[in-house]
Amino acid sequence: MIRNILFTLFFFIGITFISIIFLPSLIMPQKIVLFGGKLMGYWAEICLKIFLSTKIEIKGKENIIQDSKFFIAASHQSMFETFFLQTIFNSPVFILKKELLFIPIFGWYLKKIGSISIKRDKISRDNLDFFKDISRIISNSNRPVIIFPQATRVLPTERPPFKKGASRIYNELNIHCQPVAINSGFVWPKFGKKKSNKTITISILKPINPGLEKDEFIKILEKNIYSELDFIN
């Protein structure tokens, strides 16, 4: 219990401190804000190691796509990946629920770094047009887009079918997909107490090359990520 309290207290104090320090960056070049996001990722790692004695293991770095346009499809079990993936990949762009943009300060940062928002479980003009934003980012920069095909945080043992957004990006942009499996829910669950003395594994899987049909792609993506989660759990 004490470890949980200390982790939560110091983590959010640190995130708040970084946010305040970087407030002036909201009117500065985007790359300064992106550096602040990376600091938050490292702070999450530090707090996990100090207060929960968490070991963080990154597997498959050799699989990271280097010379091609790509997007990342990652499993989603906790807040951990939204912070820590910024330390692994080059200034990724997150696809996230629209409500997050309305959080004071935090939402301002999300807008500044170019996050793409959608309304979950709704058909709206914004949702139909969000693909234009993805296409623009992929075409005009080297920043990969991150999508969580499960659409929300899930329990470590849950295996919901993947949503179709990832297959649309893959099919219409004709680019590589970088699958990532993360078992963070065993340490930092969606609900309940955080667990100490455990390992969070970030497994970067072999890319899925363009050229598959949408249905075939989403089946392979889901199978590869869930098989890896079963292995590392």
Rg (CA), the chain: 17
Per-residue pLDDT tens over the stretch 174-187: 999 999 999 999 99
Per-residue pLDDT tens over the stretch 16-33: 899 888 888 777 777 888
Residue spans of the domains in the chain: they are: 55-232
Pick the CATH number of 55-232 from 3.40.1130.10, 3.90.870.40, 2.40.110.10, 3.40.50.150: 3.40.1130.10
In this prediction, residue 104 has a pLDDT band, given cuts at 50, 70 and 90, of: confident
The confidence score (pLDDT) of residue 227 equals 97
Question: String of b and e for 175-211 (b: at least 16 CB within 10 Å)?
Answer: bbbbbbbbbbbbbbbeeeebeeebebbbbbbebbebe
pTM: 0.89
